[in-house]
Structure 1
Amino acid sequence: MSTITSVELNYLVFRYLHESGFIHAAFAFGNEAGINKSSIDGTLVPLGALIRLVQKGLQYLEMEANLSNCDVDLDEDFSFLQPLDLITKDVHELGKMVNERRKKLKKDRNKESEKEHEGGRGLVKGKDRHERVKECEKDGERPENRKELEQQHGNQTCKEMVTDQEDMVTVMREDNEAFRGPEPMDISTVLTSQTNEISRSDVIVLEGHTSEVCACAWSPTGSLLASGSGDSTARIWKIAEGRCKPALLNDPPNVLVLKHARGKPNEKSNDVTTLDWNGEGTLLATGSYDGQARIWTTDGEVRSTLSKHKGPIFSLKWNKRGDYLLTGSCDQTAIVWDVKAVKWKQQFEFHSGWTLDVDWRNNVSFATSSTDTKIHVCKIGENLPIKTFVGHQSEVNCIKWDPTGSLLASCSDDMTAKIWSMKHDKYLHDFREHSKEIYTIRWSPTGPATNNPNRSLVLASASFDSTVKLWDVELGKLLYSLDGHRDRVYSLAFSPNGEYLASGSPDKSMLIWSLKEGKIVKTYTGDGGIFEVCWNKEGDKIAACFANNTVCVLDFRM
């Protein structure tokens, strides 16, 4: 009589059947084992029962191959069952037990992950678009059919907190010229004075969304702020000019609710994933997880619904003239919409992966980036790309044309940012100083074709390595490495005058950097991860949207 554990026996049965090709498995197991009885966790089991166990194992393996949502290793599945379960229960009961225990295991793992990252991993723009891409690819499902994601976020109110001063060190620069320096500097800056904290009296907390707020954008011409959320709504907030006055929040906020859901409230297929104002500030476009783009007036009325994509819209941009809207989707296509005619102008189907970002070069040409690692430059009326940039080794998360439309910046999960020119096939610069994936990039509003032509053009990049880096595009080198966040950096925004840079992170903090002094000058910390930050056109207010369902508007004065 021999003694083995239940997991060992389960694994032995599975491995033997698997490696023998299922030929005479029951007979072979009985003879080669050379036993008449076995002790399973103290229970004697006759040889006949073991043979029936093997026969049932064959049925179970066949059933296992057909089980849905098989996201757990087969070897691990047998650890879910006890030997007596295999002997005493039929195949359907075993399958039900495995599925139930899989679900429990997955739920427990998700809870551990959420606890580790204070609200869940990959929280960006509400639902991390790259995590959704990977999940959909893994499951082989179209994203529009996916069920509600399991990530849950807290429902707390945004509040100001003091940044932990003990973790911070201030590095001062003695001789600063705008964006220039002989060597790149690692700037690990923290606040040494409470004068750097944005006062509670200078913050308005906008409440009303019932799920994480993943996008926000100021109107380019007025005091309207748009926000998009996982609660199937976008909202247009009227922000009074002048100083923020939180006391007014005792009255109902001046807000318009733009409902995207046709069915139940908070239906996840209607998550608002992206939004953009036209140049005149008269129309707001929103993209949704249901694959539809919608155009709204400033009165909150839907002007048109644009339907042709077969998957979630990840990126959406107006051209400068405002007659075309460009959308990119995980259906691997980009579409140009004729806004006046309320119909699609042209669909571009050049990518073999999901289209993650789009950006206009001018009124008729644009670039698209994808999980297929490629960047295509397209033009309305052309049936093929007019340029294709190849050089990234992983999905290209973000692309941005510089203010002149002559240089294209890109960033990728391959941990590099690159600069491209229409005059060259290969990248002009390859920035490799980040140690993890680069999520987003932004050009400074400086240099030619901007309101600050006498200042040098700079590119900023934000990475999962918790740093923001500034690059001299002309010389192709690193200027500064800004190290102040304690988690991934998801969002960047330059002030209109190009003197300041705001960054937001899941570490719940927004940091405002002075690019001239090379240090943090203001900070704000809330109760949820920050998905996006943006400046108003005057440069005296900054908005930030949070995972705790709120939007905060902060006064900025130096």
Structure 2
Amino acid sequence: MSTMSISSDEVNFLVYRYLQESGFQHSAYTFGIESHIAQSNINGGIVPPAALLAIVQKGVKYTEAEIMLGEDGVDQRMMESLSLIDAVMPDIVTTRQQALQQQTQQSGTVSKGSSGLIKQEQEANGEENSTTAGSTVTSGINYSSNLTSGTTTEPMDVDSSIEIPANKATVLRGHESEVFICAWNPTQDLLASGSGDSTARIWDMNDNSTTQLPNQLVLRHCIQKGGTEVPSNKDVTSLDWNCDGKFLATGSYDGYARIWTTEGRLASTLGQHKGPIFALKWNKEGNYILSAGVDKTTIIWDAKTGQCTQQFSFHLAPALDVDWQSNNSFASCSTDQCIHVCKLHVDKPIKSFQGHTNEVNAIKWDPTGTLLASCSDDMTLKIWSMKQDNCVHDLQAHSKEIYTIKWSPTGKGTANPNMNSILASASFDSTVRLWDVDRGACIHTLTKHTEPVYSVAFSPDGKFLASGSFDKCVHIWSTQNGQLVHSYKGTGGIFEVCWNSRGDKVGASASDGSVFVLDLRKL
């Protein structure tokens, strides 16, 4: 039997993946750069979720088996499970071996046969169930909770009357790794998804689809190597449809942005960033694409020609998010804790906001482009106005990092001018909060999730909010009273939730490679 070996590149890749799956996105990006993940030849598409934890778990199991196997090769009595820390401490292992031997001698019985050991080896080899990343370690050491069955789900802690049964959801299988993002086409029911398997996919969820399972188009992200086209083996990190739904833009860890047609044809490759792209957005008119990357820059691209129109280099660290204010002005945020507002053909930022004390994870303009909301690892939300330097509101209520934010599509300056502006925030403290921005007050705290919340999305009419968490649940809430309306539990941690343009379908993407659609008309 050949000896198993593992290279430092492979260890680095598994650590990088673990950081991603656990929600430490920025740490993962930094670690990936410092350990030169992009230069390794590892195909991320074939690495299963929770691979590092599975290997660690196997190591602990084999250490337990080693302890229980006496010098005569006979399985000793069962012992309590080792923790990971125990397993790497020789003194602990020796002490337990001696204790087991003493127990065996005192009882005078030895278990003949090896069924217990075989079962342990089966568990260690993952033969009982496939494993997927099911939760995030937020504090302390809790390894076993990250390995949960990918084929069964535990009952939810919600009223059964609001729980959506499995047969009411359409589960879309095809991705071979985590699915980080998903987005509906604005004009028809095409759901796009982007994954760590270096593909994006377009799923046809239109009602007139003739096949039982929805058709999927696979958009393979390839790079030129030695004169031939090969898979990039890098994560698809972001995607966005243009205003009329004719084109899909994707951003990748390979440093390229790409434009695709709804038929899955590659229309343009945008290559100017020197490193991974973290965020990417079309402007409303659809003539420009905006991207942000680890190279500390943001770029405005001409969507027709695929050429870089202007590159902005004002951040001192990786740019994490961007959002258009108008068709030619935008805001960007960074791990440097700064926010810059820039304008096409203007050489310097037209406004800069400082006030956060940690990485700024996401920024969003309100529907009118008047107020800018930002959220940070410093656990605060801040509201900014172009009319002043200091923030309008400093909203402090979350007890952990705030991962993302979304404005309600209704509010001042929209079709409902009498309604106050509402903002939703998703945090690693497992809660979602709804804020009345005009008053600077939290109006609802949504507390049914039990793990970090990665995504929130308002329905088009603003009456409902969907949230997705690493507890595998998608919850749908009433924004008027904060009550839970529907819940669905999938098979992996939820990275993204999104509504279709009519507001009757919710899409979600998960850490186990699944994408699913909840058709609210069937409920």
Q: Which residue of 1 aligns with 2:263?
A: 299
Mapped pair 1:427 → 2:391: yes
- What is the CA–CA distance in structure 1 between the aligned matches of 2:352 and 2:25, rounded to whole Å? 23
Instruction: Report if aligned partners of 1:495, 1:501 keep a CA contact under 8 Å in 2.
Output: yes
Question: Residues 397 and 202 from structure 1, CA distance in 2 versus in 1: closer, same or farther, beyond 3 angstroms?
Answer: same
Contact 1:230 1:268 in 2 (8 A): no
| C-alpha deviation, 1:101, in angstroms | 11
Match of 2:156 in 1: 164
What do residues 401-430 of structure 1 show as CA deviations (whole Å, max 9, x unaligned)? 000000000001111110000000000100
- Give yes or no for the alignment of 1:531 onto 2:495: yes
- Determine the structure 2 residue equivalent to 1:384: 348
- Give yes or no for the alignment of 1:134 onto 2:23: no
SS in 2 for 1:511: strand
- Deviates further, 522-531 or 445-454: 445-454
Matched residue type, 1:195: S
Preserved CA contact (<8 Å) 2:466 2:474: yes
Q: 1:271 to 1:319 in 2, by over 3 A?
A: same
Q: CA RMSD in A?
A: 3.0
- Residue 19 of structure 2 contacts residue 25 of structure 2 at CA under 8 Å; is this kept in 1? no
1:547 correspondence with 2:445 = no
Alpha carbons of 1:284 and 1:410: their partners in 2 closer, same or farther (altered >3 Å)?
Answer: same
Which structure's relative contact order is higher, taking Cα pairs within 8 Å and 6+ residues apart?
Answer: 1
User: Structure 2 vs 1, CA of residues 164 and 299 (structure 1 numbering), >3 Å: closer, same or farther?
Assistant: closer
Q: 1:494 aligns with which of 458, 463, 468?
A: 458
- 1:66-107 Cα deviation digits (max 9, x unpaired): xxxxxxxxxxxxxxxxxxxxxxxxxxxxxxxxxx99969x96
1:197 maps onto 2:163 in alignment: yes
Q: Are 1:144 and 2:38 an aligned pair?
A: yes
Is the 2:181–2:194 contact (alpha carbons within 8 Å) kept by the matching residues of 1?
yes
* Deviation for aligned residue 1:267: 5.5
1:349 to 313, 320, 323: 313
Q: Which moved more, 1:451-460 or 1:363-372?
A: 451-460
- Find the partner of 1:231 among 197, 211, 219: 197
Equivalence for 1:416: 380
Change (3 A) 1:526 1:497: same
CA distance in 1 between counterparts of 2:152 and 2:406 reads 27
In structure 2, C-alpha distance between the alignment counterparts of 1:160 and 1:301, rounded to whole Å? 37
Q: 1:255 pairs with 216, 219, 223, which one? A: 216
| Contact 1:155–1:549 (CA under 8 A) maintained in structure 2 | no
Gaps of 5+ in 2: 51-129, 133-148
Is residue 326 of structure 1 aligned with residue 287 of structure 2? no
Q: Distance in 1 between matches of 2:151 and 2:167?
A: 11
Name the CA distance, whole Å, in 1 between partners of 2:347 and 2:429. Answer: 39
Map of 1:123 onto structure 2: 21
Partner of 1:447: 411
Structure 1 unaligned spans of 5+: 1-99, 166-190
Q: 1:292 to 1:498 in 2, by over 3 A?
A: same
TM-score between both structures, scaled by the size of structure 2: 0.74
**Aligned counterpart in structure 2 of residue 369 of structure 1, from 315, 333, 339:** 333
Identity fraction in percent = 51
**Shift in Å at residue 339 of structure 1?**
1.2
Residue 402 of structure 2: which of 425, 438, 447 is its match?
A: 438
CA distance 1:158–1:303, shift in 2 (3 Å):
farther
TM-score scaled by structure 1? Answer: 0.69
Distance (Å, rounded) in 1 between the aligned partners of 2:175 and 2:197: 7
Match for 2:26: what amino acid?
H
Give the partner amino acid of 2:25.
Answer: R
Using the alignment, how far apart are the partners of 1:271 and 1:316 within structure 2?
14
The residue matched to 2:21 in structure 1 has which SS?
Answer: coil
Matched, 1:467 2:431: yes
Q: CA deviation at 1:546?
A: 1.0
Q: CA deviation at 1:450?
A: 3.1
1:210 aligns with 2:176: yes
Report the CA distance between 1:261 and its aligned residue.
Answer: 2.6
Q: 2:369 aligns with which of 402, 405, 414?
A: 405
